[in-house]
Amino acid sequence: MNEWVDVRGPSVEMAVSAGLEALDLASADDAEVEVLQEPTRGFLGMGGQDAVVRIRRKPAAPTNRNRSRRGGRGSGSSTAGHSSGRRSSTNKPDTAQPSRGRGGAPASQKQQSRPAQPKASQSRAEKPSRGGNAVTKRDDDDREEISPEDQAAEINRFLTGLLGAFGLDGEVTTRVEDDVIYADVTGEQTEALVGAKGTILQAVLELCRTIVQRKTMSGARIRLDIAGYTERRREALRIYTRRLAEKVLAEGGEVMLEPMNAADRKVVHDTVVDIDGVRSFSEGEEPHRSVIVAKEDD
Amino acid sequence: MKGEIVEKVVAYVTKEIVEDGDAVSVTIVEDGPDEVTAEVRAAKPDMGRVIGRRGRVAKAIRTIAQAAADEEGLQARVEFID
C-alpha cells in the first residue's frame, strides 16, 4: 500500500494536491511528500520544467484522526537529522531494504501490503486489490513495481519504436545510475525530435514517463537527451556562467541569475568552483531559487 | 498519402499508452492543402490515459504529432474522439 507515486504539476502545491487525489488522501497531513524537482522556467527560457513530487500515504498511520507521531521517518523536519532521512535511497519504493527505523516498528511494514484500513479507503472498499488502499486510483490497480533497469529497457523500446514510426535513423541507449534513468537518443536525424527550445524533447520525455508510470507506481527519474540538445544546453550554461564570473571578478559585487532548477544550479556551481576569486550560492525559495555569483571577499 | 507519418506516429504513441491497443484507431482527415487532422479513437476506459491529468498526455501527443507533420511539411491537429 505504501508505494510512492511521482506526480507532476506546474507548482509543487498543485503536484501535491494531484498526488493526494490520486492516493485518495484527504490532506497533506496523511502523506509523505518528497520534492523531486522544483518547477522552473528554465534557463534563458529554455526547457522549463514542472514540479515533480513523490508522494505516498504516511506509513503505518493509526486509524484515529489525530495523527499521532509521524510514522517513523521522513515526513518532516522533526526527523531531519535522522540517518534514513527524507532523501535517502531507502525511500525508494522499489527497494525493500530495511530502513533502520528507530522505535519498535519493523521497517518491513513500510513496504508490505497490509490490509487497507485507514480512512480515505472506505469509499473504494469494493476494490480489494493487493496493492491496498493507496493504489485505489481507478486505473492502476494492477501496476507493479518494476526495477529501474526494466523501466530503462521499456523506455529504450518505446524510443526505438518512436524513431521507427518517424522513419528517423538514430540510436537509443539507456543506462541506470543511482536510480536515475538516462536515455540518450543520438543520430543526426533525431534533431527532428528536439524542437524549438526543446519542446518536442519535453513531450517525448512526458510520454516516456507516462509509459513507465502506466506499468509501475514507482517511476524512476528520467533524463532524456536527444541529438545532444541537453548537453549543448548545459554547455551554453557553462559558457554563460564563466562569462558572468569574469564580469564579477572584474567589477566586483555579485550577480543573481534567473531562477533555475536544481540540476541547472549545480551546473553553475560546478563551473564557478573552478574559477578562482568567485564563489556561488543559492538563495530564495523553490521554485524561485536562484544562484548568486559573487566575488570572493579577501 | 498525406499525413502518413502523422498517422503512424500518433497511432504508435497512443497504442503505447493505452491498455487496449487493438481498439486504437487514427484517421487522417485532410483539412487543406497543408493541414491534416488526426482523429484518435480508443476504448472508452483508455481515454483518460490518452488525455492524462490536466491534459498533459494529450498535449504531448499533439506536440509529437506536429513534429511528425513537420517531416511532411504539414500542420497537424489532433482530435481525441470519445
Q: How many CB pairs under 8 A join A and B?
A: 74
Over residues A3-28, mean pLDDT: 70
- Chain A residues near residue B12 by CB distance under 8 angstroms: 161-162, 164-165
Has residue A237 got a pLDDT over 80? yes
Per CB-CB distance under 8 Å, the chain A contacts of B68 are 165-166
Whether A26 shows a pLDDT value over 60: the answer reads: yes
Average pLDDT value for residue range A26-37? 74
Which backbone phi and psi does B32 adopt, to 5 degrees? -175, -175
**Cell numbers linked to A76:** 518532516
Q: Does the pLDDT value for residue A132 go beyond 60?
A: no
For the stretch B1-32, pLDDT in tens is 899 999 999 999 999 999 999 999 999 999 99
Banded pLDDT at A127 (limits 50, 70, 90): very low
Q: How many CB atoms lie within 10 A of CB A290?
A: 15
Q: From A128, A193, A122, select the one nearest A163 (Cα to Cα).
A: A193
The CATH label, of 3.30.830.10, 1.25.40.80, 3.30.300.20, 1.10.287.990, for the domain at B4-81 is 3.30.300.20
From the list A139, A200, A214, which residue is nearest B64 (CB)? A200
> Any CB–CB contact under 8 A between A281 and chain B?
no
With contact defined as beta carbons under 8 Å apart, do A202 and A229 qualify?
no
Strands (E), chain B: 25-32, 35-41, 75-81
- Gyration radius of chain A over CA positions: 21
Enumerate the residues of chain B whose CB falls inside 8 A of the CB of residue A189.
none
Tell me if A18 and B61 make a contact (CB, 8 A cut-off): no
pTM over 0.80: no
What residue segments make up the domains of chain B, in order of their start? 4-81
Residue-wise pLDDT for A65-85, tens only, equals 444 444 334 333 333 334 333
Task: Round to whole Å and give the CA distance between A91 and A59.
Answer: 11
In three-state secondary structure terms, B61 is helix
DSSP string for residues in A195-235: -GGGHHHHHHHHHHHHHHHHHBS-PPEEEEEETTHHHHHHH
* Structural element, H or E, at residue A292: strand A290-295
d(CA A100, CA B75): 57
Grid cell in block for residue A60: 503505518
CA distance B2 to chain A (A): 14
Does A131 score more than 50 pLDDT? no
Q: How far apart are CA A131 and CA A144, in angstroms?
A: 8
Please give the residue of chain B at the shortest CA–CA distance from A202.
Answer: B60
A158–B contact, CB cutoff 8 A: yes
Cα A92 from Cα A176, distance rounded (Å): 14
A258 touches chain B (CB under 8 A): no
Taking residues B75-82, report their average pLDDT: 95
pLDDT digits (tens, 9 = 90+) for B36-74: 999 999 999 999 999 998 899 999 999 999 999 999 999
Amino acid identity, residue B23? A
Of A161, A164, A203, the CB nearest to B64: A203
Q: What are the two backbone dihedrals, phi and then psi, of residue A177, each rounded to the nearest 5 degrees?
A: -140, 125
Residue A48, φ and ψ in degrees, nearest 5: -60, 150
A-chain residues near B8 (CB < 8 A) = 165-167
CA-based end-to-end distance of chain B: 26
Q: Judge whether B44 is closer than 8 Å to chain A, CB to CB.
A: no
Q: Which three cell numbers stand for residue A191?
A: 534533431
Q: Who among B12, B48, B56 is closest to A165 (CB)?
A: B12
Residue bearing the bigger pLDDT, A12 or A127: A12
Handedness of CA A113, A116, A133, A73 (dihedral sign): negative
CB spacing of B67 vs A195 below 8 angstroms: yes
Q: Which of A162, A213, A222 to mutate to test the interface with B (most CBs of B within 10 A)?
A: A162
Chain B contact present for A176, CB below 8 A: no
Q: Which residue of A has its CA nearest to B14?
A: A207
Is residue A51 a contact partner of residue A9, using CB atoms and an 8 Å limit?
A: yes
Residue A194: all three cell numbers together: 528536439
How far apart (Å, rounded) are the C-alpha atoms in residues B74 and B5?
A: 10
Over range A132-142, report the average pLDDT: 45
Assess whether pLDDT exceeds 50 at residue A138. Answer: no
Kindly tell me if the per-residue pLDDT of A189 is higher than 50: yes
Note the pLDDT of residue A37. 72
Q: Is the pLDDT of residue A106 over 50?
A: no
Report in angstroms the alpha-carbon separations of B41 from A47, A186, A288, B25, B36. Answer: 31, 32, 40, 5, 16
All three cell numbers of B31 = 483539412
- In A, minimum Cα distance to B17 occurs at A211
CB–CB of A139 and B49 under 8 A? Answer: yes
* Residue A202 CB partners (closer than 8 Å, separation 6+): A47, A195, B60, B63
